[in-house]
Amino acid sequence: MRKHRDEVLEFEEYVRTRQDALLRSARRLVPDPLDAQDLLQTALVRTYRRWDAITDKRLTDAYLRRVMINTRTEWWRTRKLEEVPTEQLPDASVEDFTGQHADRALLMDALKVLAPRQRSVVLLRHWEQISTQETAAALGMSIATVKSTLHRALARLRHELERRDLDSSSVSAAGGGYAAADRHE
């Protein structure tokens, strides 16, 4: 009985410390925030049932992400089978994510100016949002090196994004000038 109680406490501690990162992972899998919470909850229940079978607890995040992916796929297949053809489509508004996609594309392109080591630090710290200590361990660096590398990388990214913003502003201004000149000819 004590072993079971220890496993419950261990699982509760794991969820308490990792729930924000796991919810972010769920949000990447499904667009709706409520669906992401449901997805994570379902994955946690399924993982809890197999908790004692996970021998290397360091791999729990990966295991849980795989459970979320599988669960999302099951939901998609179920939802797909529930669709019924109709002669008239309902009116539905669709959110415009063009700006977000453009921003993401710009950022992904700007990341290319960073050295591979800098890019790895930025992605782990800000995309995966893992701690400085975990980043250092994952990349085999000291904590101080992670901090200084991150500082330099973010400064370089800021500079690159500002440069691109200035370049696009000058192109827009020049384009507008030519259009006005063409009208007067």
Domains and CATH numbers, the chain: 2-82 (1.10.1740.10), 100-178 (1.10.10.10)
Structure pTM? 0.44
Give the model's pLDDT for residue 173: 62
Give the model's pLDDT for residue 126: 87
Give percent above pLDDT 70 in the chain: 86
DSSP 8-state assignment for residue 113: G
- Quick one: average pLDDT of 70-74? 90
Give percent above pLDDT 90 in the chain: 32
DSSP string covering 7-62: HHHHHHHHHHHHHHHHHHHHHHH-SSHHHHHHHHHHHHHHHHHTGGG---GGGHHH
Predicted confidence (pLDDT) at residue 45 exceeds the cutoff of 80: yes
Contact 14, 57 (CB under 8 A): yes
pLDDT digits (tens, 9 = 90+) for 10-24: 889 999 999 999 999
- Quick one: average pLDDT of 147-157? 95
Contact 59, 15 (CB under 8 A): no
Give the model's pLDDT for residue 164: 83
pLDDT grade for 183, boundaries at 50, 70 and 90: very low
Contacts of 147 (CB under 8 A, 6+ apart): 132
